[in-house]
Structure 1
Amino acid sequence: MPNVADTPIVPEDLAAPDATDLGLGSGPPVPPEHRVYFYAPDDWEQFILEWAYSLHSGYVQVKRIGGSGDQGIDIAGFLSPNDFEGEWDCYQAKHYAEALTPATAYAEILKMFGHVAKQHYTMPRKYYFVAPRGAGPTLNRLISHPAEFKTKFLAAIADGTALAKTLDVHDLTAVRKLAATTDFAIFTATQLTELLSDHAQTRYHAFRFGTVLPQRAPVDPPPTDFESSEARYIEELLRVYREATGSVDLNIETLQAHADHLAHFRRQRRAFYSAEALRMYARDSVPPGTFDRLVDHLHDGVIEVAEANYPNGRERLTAVLTQATNVQLDSQRLVEITGPEDRRGVCHHLANMDRMKWVR
């Protein structure tokens, strides 16, 4: 039964879904549409959060509200910094064994209208019912006919009905007035096939359902001009070449006179940008933090080699780059699309972050 509380909602900020517990995608070959049927309600809400967060770029922020005192909102997508005082969309996640019925919808709509009437939040722009088995035929038909849906809802909260008895006279009057002036076209039901099709385009899908990672595009050559973001690792390479040549003033321009070092430098720059392309791929294709964990894992795999004694920086660099190609990365999902050049490039990313130095 809906229970309209008097306490305004205070949402918990959530910048992005936490993907640390999604696993490595090595589960049994169970189709995604079957897996979601066995989700706990919390897992279902997390799945809906991933879908809403990743696909609706018009949102300023997406928050998961579900839980005790959620006031009828599981996931909220905000279109302005004003949160519930501005324009927003409501996602009502219902993990039921059966398709949603009008009775289920009426109870949730009543709860939402009650909180809007109490000015706990503004009327949502859109209200989505999201359930594994979707809306049943009767509810789907009503959603397709907003005027009839409104009439049926008002009848469901008429005097003497079970829903009407859950509110006092004052609140019931406010809800009826609000419902009568609301366009019921705001209500819709999202079907599972649509959810999964959209979710498959997100950075969470392969991790959650154990599918293959999206194909990675070919790596472009490094830009002709040097970027400020390259400054640290390039300086570390120049220190290697200065040590080898004995020229303390050697720079990128004078490096042109040293064919062997120039060829080496060009290879390292290609490797850096290969790893940079991997980082950008990870930003769009896998959960947040995945690339950072790969970098940390490679760092752990080469640091002992890097801290050994060498006669010069070139030998230290060579030893680290060789070790990087041999580090076991089986626990890192990105290993599927990570090549030797990416691994060597990550070493230069570490140098760029001052986590690796070649000349001691």
Structure 2
Amino acid sequence: MKDDDFKELMPNPQRGLYGSDHVIAGIPIPKTQRVKLFDEDTWEEFTEEWASSIKSSYYRVRRFAGAGDQGLDVVGFVTSTQFSDGWDNYQCKFYDHPLTPSDVWVEFGKVIYFSFRGGFPSPRKYYFVAPRQVGTKLGKLLSDAPSLKEALKENWGKYCENGITSTDKVKLEGELLKYLEGFDFTIFDTVSLVQMIEQHATTPYHAVRFGGGLGLRPQPEIPPEDTVSLDHRYVRQLLVVYAQSIGENQKIPDLSLLDKDQRIRNNFQRQRESFYHAESLRSFSRDTVPPGVFEALQNDIYDGVVDVCESQHESGMDKLSSTLSQAATVAVNASPLMSVTRVRDKQGICHQLVNDEKLNWSEDDG
């Protein structure tokens, strides 16, 4: 072996490849590659999250969880009558390799056998879903219905005869063979990993699963002043505090109170805007993060302000001001909503907590 058989190490990264984010988190892994790194439990979680993205295409989407799945997995029903008026099946398979025909012959057999037996009508579509997608051989069969039918017949004895049920041997003969011959094999297809990820991106689980931030938050909409309602407890509580601050003795003050003092009118406008900022954040969270995240943020705000709110104050206005000032300083670093949470949101959450009777500005409910 000669010396010139070797060369010096000369790393040559692509220009512009590295940025500050890469120093912190490393070079991003493409989402399709990340899915391929999932273990079986994580794949199960991911498919549950993904399945929620197809709900809008169906009356109802369910995952079969009973004994003896009969080839059913994630099922989309077109109407409330479930199987009767059309349904689609999404067969989610976890393998460490692209799906091959031998991985799924029994799945073809199950849907044919159990629909033949009357367990359910044939689905409109039957999709295979897998982290490493389908291999070349299976892909070709799925695109060629006549070849798929003949290949299934050839492999029935090896994969389906003893694999469809644990109690019976299912021979492909007689009426079952006749049923298979007339079965529509064009219903079988696959959902690509790219399509799954695109659909998953429409769910509130995407950002916490793959990162990338939450995107832009819409500007909060503040309803007109003439829509103020005493049905909101936070409004009634504020009015009681305002009445006390200007020496009014109304036990149950009404909105006319705001016309008596510009200072309290301005304060009320600020509090109302903060409340609707928090309501906007609540709505934004429903579309962008998993359930429970916003409620956890509310709990963090509550924990940060409750001691201040429940301590002794000279007046209700002092309690209100001190609590909201404390809310502005509460750290929300642990929340997935941190990047889109502003001071007004945190203060508005205090009014949500008043609505929920967890905080009080006054002992009188108004």
- TM-score, normalised on structure 1? 0.84
1:300 maps onto 2:299 in alignment: no
1:141 maps onto 2:144 in alignment: no
CA distance in 1, matches of 2:293, 2:68: 33
Contact 1:271/1:341 (8 A) holds in 2:
yes
Q: Which residue of 2 aligns with 1:178?
A: 179
SS of 1:292's equivalent?
helix
1:110 maps onto 2:77 in alignment: no
CA distance in 1, matches of 2:175, 2:351: 64
Deviation at 1:229, TM superposition (A): 8.8
Contact 1:127/1:186 (8 A) holds in 2:
yes
Query: Which of residues 253, 256, 260 in structure 2 aligns to 1:253?
Result: 256
Q: Which residue of 2 aligns with 1:52?
A: 51
Contact 2:220/2:277 (8 A) holds in 1:
yes
SS of 1:225's equivalent?
helix
Query: Which of residues 308, 322, 340 in structure 2 aligns to 1:319?
Result: 322
Q: Which residue of 2 aligns with 1:355?
A: 358
CA deviations on 1:41-76 (whole Å, 9 max, x unpaired) are 232122122112123303333333368643323322
> Structure 2: which amino acid aligns with 1:303?
V
CA distance in 2, matches of 1:172, 1:352: 68
Consecutive unaligned residues of structure 2, counting only runs of 5 or more, are 1-23
CA deviations on 1:176-206 (whole Å, 9 max, x unpaired) are 3433333222211111122112212221111
SS of 1:77's equivalent?
strand
Identity %: 36
Contact 2:160/2:170 (8 A) holds in 1:
no
Q: Which residue of 2 aligns with 1:207?
A: 208
> Structure 1: which amino acid aligns with 2:263?
D
Q: Which residue of 2 aligns with 1:238?
A: 239
Q: Which residue of 2 aligns with 1:290?
A: 293
SS of 2:76's equivalent?
strand
Higher Cα radius of gyration: 2
Q: For residues 244 and 56 of structure 1, do their structure 2 counterparts lie closer, same or farther at Cα, with a shift above 3 Å needed? A: same
Q: For residues 97 and 185 of structure 1, do their structure 2 counterparts lie closer, same or farther at Cα, with a shift above 3 Å needed? A: same
Deviation at 1:227, TM superposition (A): 5.6
Contact 1:271/1:342 (8 A) holds in 2:
yes
Q: Which residue of 1 aligns with 2:160?
A: 163
Report which structure shows greater RCO (CA 8 Å, sep ≥6): 1
CA distance in 2, matches of 1:228, 1:92: 50
SS of 2:325's equivalent?
helix
Q: For residues 273 and 169 of structure 1, do their structure 2 counterparts lie closer, same or farther at Cα, with a shift above 3 Å needed? A: closer
Deviation at 1:143, TM superposition (A): 1.9
CA distance in 2, matches of 1:317, 1:173: 81
> Structure 1: which amino acid aligns with 2:283?
M
Q: For residues 50 and 165 of structure 1, do their structure 2 counterparts lie closer, same or farther at Cα, with a shift above 3 Å needed? A: closer
Question: Which is further off, 201-210 or 81-90?
Answer: 81-90
Contact 1:89/1:126 (8 A) holds in 2:
yes
CA deviations on 1:77-132 (whole Å, 9 max, x unpaired) are 23333445553321111121221122323221112222323333333222110111
Contact 2:59/2:78 (8 A) holds in 1:
yes
Consecutive unaligned residues of structure 1, counting only runs of 5 or more, are 1-25
CA distance in 2, matches of 1:248, 1:142: 82
Contact 2:58/2:76 (8 A) holds in 1:
yes
Deviation at 1:353, TM superposition (A): 1.4
Between the two proteins, the alignment pairs up a number of residues equal to: 333
Q: For residues 313 and 109 of structure 1, do their structure 2 counterparts lie closer, same or farther at Cα, with a shift above 3 Å needed? A: same
1:272 maps onto 2:275 in alignment: yes
Q: Which residue of 1 aligns with 2:13?
A: none
SS of 2:222's equivalent?
coil
SS of 1:333's equivalent?
coil
Q: CA RMSD in A?
A: 2.5
